[in-house]
Amino acid sequence: MKPPPFEYRSAHDSTETVELLTEYGDDAKILAGGQSLVPLMNFRMARPSVLIDINQTQDMTGIREDDGHLVIGAMARQRVLERDPTAGVAVPLLPAALAHTGHTTNRNRGTFGGSLAHADPAAELPALLVAMGGELTVKGPSGTRIVPAEDFFLAPLTTTLAYNEILVSARLPRLPSGTGTAVEELARRHGDFAIVSVMAAVHLDSNGRADLVRLAAGGVDSTPIRLHEAESVLSGGTLDETSIDAAATAAADASHPVDDVHGTASYRRDMVRVLVARAIRSAIANR
Amino acid sequence: MSDKHTVTVTVTVNGQVYTGDCEPRMTLADFLRHECGLTGTHLGCEHGVCGACTVLLDDVAARSCLTFAVQADGARITTVEGLAEGEQLNTLQKSFQEHHGLQCGFCTSGMLMCATELLRENPNPTETEVREGISGVLCRCTGYDSIVKSVMAAAGDQRDAVSEAGSAR
């Protein structure tokens, strides 16, 4: 058998999950879609002594609109979210980003919350949450707390979640109609983790000036990063080649990639420049 | 659950009920092969990359090496053994045979299960959609062209069957 032995518990809802996490402490891991955790266990890089399976829970699956926001349950399957008409209209970045997340078979099982809690710095959903300025709802023994996306991710595979907390849902602001969005991703093969990914959303006012700019990049730092400097360059102005180039340069300057087998740091920084410019242009084009 | 180290799992595979005791860490793939004796589901990488172990879990394609058998307790599973209608290969299988969709055959069960879901959801796929649909399964013979042709031809055969049934009515 590939994975190390573990004790199996199946939780009925998020409250019981928190109780079990509290009971078992650091040795327990939550099992959601299993598309990242189980490979790590099969390689024996992860050896949790208890798995708390949340696939039977029913209280974290919904996808709904609420007061100008899209609220997505942590257990929403990525494939369901990708094809959800409400989600696709409210945040068109979602289906575009999910098209890059693994393969259909992974997304059939993989969950929205699982990808966020796993916090791979090159994964699409964490970068999307950061780009959108989303908020995560985290449940613990003493109730729930709200964490802004930029504060949720701390380091590769590390979030602000305490050992006995579970991510139950996330809220994304609905994008105003007429917002152009784009996902640009560089990967060796379709479905691989990104070498660099860029998420962009742009809305122009009636004078053609940008009144909403959202930019984030994945794969270029220890967490996905919001590209605030690049957004500032564009906000309030008309988007022409000069401002787009300046924003792309600002984005590259804000990236702190490292060398690895997939590419050098300087290559990644160059790709941030290229992909940010490309993403802004495609976002403008598909408004 | 008999004790902390063993669980009893009951699954319905291709319409037949199987019950077995296993450790929680036994993957669904191992359960199908060792407890149910259904060795048509192949295990390549055992860490969710090659897709050879793809089965339909409650009608949804899933990698059986990334799902524990205990999680499938009570589920309905279709494996490659469940595709043929008796001794007759189904349309997709026949198409793989006719269009040289398998070389060594190792990835074939994964390809067939992925393509089954693809054609159910999208009976009229473009070649790009077929390539994307099977992208989660690796063929190390690199025989993708013939596999894509097989799936495209199967989609055509299914459409012909539907229109024949329609005109006969």
The ipTM (two decimal places) reads: 0.93
**pLDDT, tens digit, for every residue of B104-160?**
999 999 999 999 999 999 999 999 999 999 999 999 999 999 999 999 999 998 888
Q: Is B1 among the domain residues?
A: no
CA–CA separation, A71 and A172 (whole Å): 7
Residues B110 and B78 in one domain: no
In a domain, B72, yes or no: yes
With contact defined as beta carbons under 8 Å apart, do A223 and A154 qualify?
yes
- The tokens of B115 are what? 């393509």
The predicted-structure confidence for B81-111, as pLDDT tens digits, reads as follows 999 999 999 999 999 999 999 999 999 999 9
Q: A41 pLDDT exceeds 70?
A: yes
Could you give the 3-state DSSP secondary structure of residue B109? helix
Question: pLDDT band at residue B1, thresholds of 50, 70 and 90?
Answer: very low
**pLDDT for the residue B168:** 66
Segment holding B94, helix H or strand E: helix B91-98
Domain A185-285 has what CATH class?
Answer: alpha beta
* Chain B contacts to A (CB-CB under 8 A): 1, 4-5, 7, 23-27, 30, 46-49, 51, 54, 60-63, 65-68, 70-71, 114, 117-118, 132-133, 135-136
Q: Could you tell me if B30 and B62 lie in one domain?
A: yes
Question: Per-residue confidence at B63, pLDDT binned at 50, 70, 90?
Answer: very high
Under 8 Å CB pairs connecting chains A and B tally to 91
Nearest-by-Cβ selection for A104 from B4, B5, B136: B136
Query: For chain A, what are the domain ranges?
Result: 7-53, 63-173, 185-285
Residue B124 sits in the same domain as residue B152: yes
Residue B51 has pLDDT above 80, yes or no: yes
Q: What is the pLDDT of residue A226?
A: 98
Which tens digits make up the pLDDT trace of A142-165? 999 999 999 999 999 999 999 999
Domain co-membership, B136 together with B116? yes
Question: Per-residue confidence at B167, pLDDT binned at 50, 70, 90?
Answer: confident
B111 located within any domain: yes
Domain end: B54, B82, B110, which one?
A: B82
Share of chain A above pLDDT 90, in %: 97
Q: Which of A5, A51, A103 lies at the smallest CB-CB distance from B136?
A: A103
In whole angstroms, what is the distance from residue A40 CA to residue B113 CA?
25
Residues B14 and B78 in one domain: yes
Q: Any idea what the CATH number is for the domain that residue B148 is in? A: 1.10.150.120
Q: Do B99 and B153 form a contact (C-beta atoms < 8 A)?
A: yes
Confidence grade of residue A200 (pLDDT, cut at 50, 70, 90): very high
The pLDDT of residue A190 is 84
Q: Considering the domain A7-53 in this protein, what is its CATH number?
A: 3.30.43.10
Do B122 and B160 fall into the same domain? yes
CA angle A106, A107, A108 (to 5 degrees): 90
Mean pLDDT to the nearest integer, B16-38? 98
Is B27 a member of any domain? Answer: yes
Q: What pLDDT score was predicted for residue B148?
A: 98
CATH 3.30.465.10 is the classification of domain A63-173:
yes
Nearest by CB: A191 against B62, B63, B135: B135
Number of domains in chain B: 2
Task: Please give the structure tokens belonging to residue B84.
Answer: 């043929």
Query: Does residue A113 register a pLDDT over 70?
Result: yes
Give CA angle at A118 (A40, A249), nearest 5°: 115
For residues B20 and B60, membership in a common domain is answered with yes
Do residue B72 and residue B141 come from a single domain? Answer: no
- pLDDT of the residue at A219: 96
pLDDT digits (tens, 9 = 90+) for A58-103: 999 999 999 999 999 999 999 999 999 999 999 999 999 999 999 9
Is A23 an 8 Å CB contact of chain B?
A: no
Judgement on whether residues B67 and B96 belong to the same structural domain of the protein: no
Residue B37: band (very low, low, confident or very high) from pLDDT cuts 50, 70, 90: very high
Dist. CA B67–CA B77, nearest whole Å: 12
Query: Cβ of A105 under 8 Å from any chain B Cβ?
Result: yes
Instruction: Calculate the dihedral angle through the C-alpha atoms of A36, A38, A43, A48, rounding to the nearest 10 degrees.
Output: 110
Average pLDDT (A247-273) is: 96
| pLDDT for position B2 | 44
Tokens of A1: 């058998």
Per-residue pLDDT averaged across B50-79, rounded?
Answer: 98
A51 lies within 8 A of chain B by CB: yes
Distances (CA, A) of A109 to A104, B63, B152, B167: 9, 9, 26, 39
Q: Please state the φ and ψ torsions of residue B158, each to the nearest 5 degrees.
A: -65, -40
The least confident of A3-7, A171-175, B1-5, B126-130 is: B1-5
In this predicted structure, what is the pLDDT of residue A36? 97
Same domain, B75 and B139: no
Give the whole-angstrom CA distance, residue A235 versus residue A269.
22
Does residue A20 contact residue A28 with C-beta atoms inside 8 Å?
yes
Host domain of residue B20: 7-82
Q: Are residues B54 and B76 in the same domain?
A: yes
In the predicted model, what is the mean pLDDT of residues B160-166? 82
Q: Are residues B77 and B30 in the same domain?
A: yes
C-alpha Rg value of chain B to the nearest Å: 17
Summary mean pLDDT of chain A = 97
Contacts with A52 (C-beta within 8 Å, 6 or more apart), sequence order: A9, A10, A11, A17, A20, A21, A24, A28, A29, A30, A31
